[in-house]
Amino acid sequence: MFQLIIIVVLTIVSCTTGENPAFQVTLNNKGLQYGKHVAAGWIQDRLGLITLPDISGEALLVHYTLSGIKITKCDFPEPSVEFYQNVTGLKSSITGLSIAVNGSWATHLGVIHDGGTFDLAVFNVGVTSVVKLGKDSNGHLSVTNVNCDAKVGDVQMNFYGGQSWIFKPFLKYYKGHVLAAIQANICPNVEDFIVKVESHLQALNVSIIVDSFLSLDLNLTSSPVIDSTSLNLPLKGQFYSIKTHKEPPFVAQPFTMPKQTDYMLSIGLSDFTANSASYAYYSDGQLMMYIDDKMIPPASPVHLNTSSMGPYIPQLPQMFPNLLMKLLVYARNCPMFSFQPGAVKLGLPLAIKAFAIQPNTSLTPLFKLHVVRVFSPKCFFTFVPYKKSIKAHAVFTQADNYSSRCLGKINSGRRMDFNFITAVKI
């Protein structure tokens, strides 16, 4: 049995031009074959439930109708499907398909009506279908029929009931008719199916609601690219704030996905996608949170009050004795991701505003703290005097992985956790 193997690649951007995809999905041949295998099993399981369209026609002046046709038995060989570069599409074919059906028959010749049941076996059906994949004006994937070819090898029929013996002698004429009718029906049905798939694709919303703040545009930026081993979908991959829907002040850069034919599906993500999410949160005012003393464990030696800050900023307890404090942690600018070989870096220009909570609950600003650099391995903090009320300068060097801890906090509060997985086996 196949295993579905997905690779997510963080792609590193090269140079710049206009509208580029920030998100690419590549279906490799391994994935196409897996999809076909699953689809074939699904079809086979459901064939028994299908009622086929009625077949009617006229042979030797007798009008006949075969109705309520149900599949009773089916030999469904594994179809083949391949990427078809010639039309930027897919070519699929099945050969040696055999189906047994039964149903009701009815004939009338003028006023003479007759009817009964029948069974019918269709042998050696072969169907080849070529579809073209493209992009419509709204960036939906589109699928159109290019070519369909169907052949029916042989048909065997038995009629029961009615005065069917009257028609027995003509059976060989019906056989040819029915065979031709079935053969002529296959491609229009395939084409109808493709039209249905196309209308489903048209109805898909290429803008997905991610959570209460974010939507994600996943429309195609250009037509799918097909070669003999893969199908690549270049997608916009841009997050927007649902509230502001503001365009960020940066654009997607082009990138190429490395070929990963061992995987069924490759998903390439450029830092633009991550940064557009970051910008959406930032422009929506989501990247801020208050921290107060209630959020600090009671057992902690340091508390968010002015006396507790005395050892670091001696002026504080003198100017504002015995007051609880509150911190506002916020992003000064849009946090930017940068994907680098083997690493994801996040520049998080954080600032912290500290306030004293007056007994009447009004807030008095104390100082502002700029987190100058957040990248691992070190985290530097500088005090910036706030409204000249406190003259304090200090530089703290924090533990090596402090940055990931400060991000971790913001993540849990603001749902900004991006998990980059390099390979998933399902």
Ligand X SMILES: *[C@@H]1O[C@H](CO)[C@@H](O)[C@H](O)[C@H]1NC(C)=O
**What residues pair up with 92 in beta bridges, in sequence order?**
81, 129
Question: How does strand 288-292 pair with strand 62-75?
Answer: unpaired
Of the two residues 86 and 261, which places its CB atom closer to ligand X in the complex?
A: 86
Of the two residues 242 and 372, which places its CB atom closer to ligand X in the complex?
A: 242
Residue 396 CB, shortest distance to ligand X, in Å, is 16
**If you ran DSSP here, which 8-state letter would residue 294 be given?**
G
How crowded is residue 23: how many other Cβ atoms within 10 Å of its Cβ?
Answer: 22
Residue 324 CB, shortest distance to ligand X, in Å, is 6
Of the two residues 51 and 340, which places its CB atom closer to ligand X in the complex?
A: 51
Question: H or E segment at 112?
Answer: strand 112-135
Question: H or E segment at 183?
Answer: helix 171-203
Instruction: Determine the Cα–Cα distance for residues 73 and 56; give it in Å rounded to an integer.
Output: 22
Per DSSP, helices labelled H in 271-414 are 271-283, 315-319, 402-414
Residue 4 CB, shortest distance to ligand X, in Å, is 28
Residue 84 CB, shortest distance to ligand X, in Å, is 7
Of the two residues 7 and 235, which places its CB atom closer to ligand X in the complex?
A: 235
Residue 186 CB, shortest distance to ligand X, in Å, is 21
Instruction: Determine the Cα–Cα distance for residues 312 and 362; give it in Å rounded to an integer.
Output: 24
Q: Is 45 exposed, middle or buried, given 0-12, 13-18 or 19+ CB atoms closer than 10 A? A: exposed
Contact residues for ligand X (CB under 6 A)? 19, 70, 72, 86, 102-104, 117, 139, 205-207, 209, 215, 217, 219, 221, 236, 302-303, 305, 307-308, 322, 324, 358, 360, 362, 401, 405
Of the two residues 58 and 292, which places its CB atom closer to ligand X in the complex?
A: 292
Of the two residues 89 and 103, which places its CB atom closer to ligand X in the complex?
A: 103
Residue 339 CB, shortest distance to ligand X, in Å, is 21
Strands (E), 136-277: 141-160, 207-209, 214-217, 225-226, 230-235, 238-241, 265-270
